[in-house]
Homo-oligomer: A and B are copies of this chain.
Amino acid sequence: MTTTMIDLINELWFLRRDIVSDGFDQALHRLAEEVPMRIYAYPSGEPCWTWRVPEKWTCHAAYLETLDGRRLLDYADHPLHAVSYSLPFEGEVSREELLRHLHVHPHQPEAIPFVFKYYVRDWGLCASQVLRDSLTEAAYRVVIRTSFEPGTLKVGEVIIPGESQRSFMLVTHLCHPAMANDDLSGVVVGLDVARELLAGPPRRFTYRMLILPETIGSVAYLSHNEQLIPDMYGGLFLEMLGNDAPHALQGSFQPDSQADRCFKSCFSSLDPTGYTGAYRTIIDNDERQFNAPGVRVPMLSLSRVEAPKSTGRPPYPEYHSSLDTPAIVSAARLEASKKIVLELIDAWERNQYVVNNFKGEVFASGYGIWIDYHINPQGHRRLFEIMERCDGERTVADIALELGLPFHSVWEVVALLQDKNLVWLNPLPQPTAPAR
């Protein structure tokens, strides 16, 4: 009995999923009902490489009132009204003082912004620009009742065991309270991909799908699972997959990695309207921890970012605001993104070194793979261009990029050759040319 992606979003989006919080735990436990999940708990204060796990944060109440008691905004109405990890504060403040602590959205005058102060602490409230503009009195009353206490940071891990320990990471974050596209859409797509992989036959790679609070969650997981890192051969971060925009594929820090080569050679046939960008040029997320020094897992990222980082504009209009609700997320787009992730994984599984059992050119007509060049000159040429690169030194993706062909066109030929026992696939290079 599985819940659909869109239903999960509708159910969980409004929870107060701050990085270490009851809301986060509640959401994660709900997701764990949908798929077998291991949940790691790292206590507050626990060292994680150069970091430490923060305290659990709870906002008991937060509101702004006029001095005569008219309530202007209330955390009870919307979790974004309090800065995430705001210090507690209670008292009368001058209008000037208030404005220094009252955050608004830079682009959306009607929306409450998402603001967090995890490490550079302060007290703060969030409001729409419209409300802020209406504040003309000399002083206001602020109430922020928050508590910081020892807790545990949670990371959910869905393992899909494969034929080997070599693994591929799917990473999502869950810590954006009361928003839907960023970040819940990536979580549910990752979850559904995991459900699909679990239901299917074993793959060559072990897959690990992670659900965690951004940055500190990845650092906590990696620093407590260092022994797994050398087996991580690639990864994909998932986020912002419900909004109405084409897909964006961001490369890893190592643009020549097989993960990059494989996904880039697939991508344009999976979403012809999509675009690609180099590492750190589209959007930054947890892939940064995986690509970082001492870790160096080639992790790409898939999103529907409309305006890449380099434009200076927000990734999509409702980004980090109270307008990021299920209304901007469509079930069809989630399905389409899930399909693309599954196809990327299929390609990743197939992307091995193509080793020739043959020498010389293959007797194509004898093997029933002849393409008459009078009838299909391009097909004939492609067949031979692919066959002559099956030499144990090139992966499927290498051949695709060398020939400027989509991964899937090369795969079709390679699969045919494999079927005829003319080639076999190997995870490592296996050169067949005579040493000279």
What residues make up the interface of A, taking CB atoms closer than 8 Å to B? 49-52, 119-120, 215, 218-219, 222-223, 226, 229-233, 253, 280, 288-289, 291-296, 356, 358-363, 365-367, 370, 372, 384-385, 387-392, 422, 432-436
Residues of B within 8 A of A392 (CB): 293
Which DSSP category, helix, strand, loop or mixed, fits chain A's interface? Answer: loop
Q: Are A233 and B436 in contact (CB under 8 A)?
A: yes
Q: Are B222 and A294 in contact (CB under 8 A)?
A: no
Cα of A366 to Cα of B289 in the assembled complex, Å:
16
How many copies altogether?
Answer: 3
Extra pairs beyond A295-B359, A295-B433 (13, CB < 8 Å): A50-B360, A51-B366, A52-B363, A52-B366, A119-B363, A219-B360, A230-B435, A232-B436, A291-B388, A292-B361, A293-B360, A293-B389, A294-B433
Most buried by B among A120, A223, A295: A295
Cα of A230 to Cα of B434 in the assembled complex, Å:
5
Chain A to chain B contacts (Cβ below 8 Å), 8 pairs: A49-B358, A50-B360, A51-B363, A52-B363, A120-B365, A223-B360, A289-B360, A293-B388
Q: Are B294 and A358 in contact (CB under 8 A)?
A: yes
State whether A361 and B230 are in contact (beta carbons under 8 Å apart), knowing that A120-B370, A253-B388, A433-B295 are contacts in the complex: no
Identify A293's interface contact among B219, B296, B365, B433, CB under 8 A: B433
Which partner residue on chain B sits nearest A227 by CB separation? B434
Cα of A233 to Cα of B230 in the assembled complex, Å:
35
Q: Are A119 and B366 in contact (CB under 8 A)?
A: yes
Identify A432's interface contact among B293, B363, B388, CB under 8 A: B293
Cα of A399 to Cα of B359 in the assembled complex, Å:
34
Say how far A120's CB is from chain B's closest CB, in angstroms.
6
Cα of A223 to Cα of B363 in the assembled complex, Å:
13
Cα of A232 to Cα of B436 in the assembled complex, Å:
8
Cα of A144 to Cα of B141 in the assembled complex, Å:
104
Say how far A373's CB is from chain B's closest CB, in angstroms.
10
Say how far A319's CB is from chain B's closest CB, in angstroms.
15
Q: Are A49 and B365 in contact (CB under 8 A)?
A: no
For the complex of A and B, 7 pairs with smallest distance between CB atoms: A294-B359, A296-B433, A230-B434, A119-B365, A51-B363, A293-B391, A293-B356
Say how far A233's CB is from chain B's closest CB, in angstroms.
6
Cα of A294 to Cα of B291 in the assembled complex, Å:
37
State whether A50 and B119 are in contact (beta carbons under 8 Å apart), knowing that A293-B433, A432-B293, A433-B293 are contacts in the complex: no
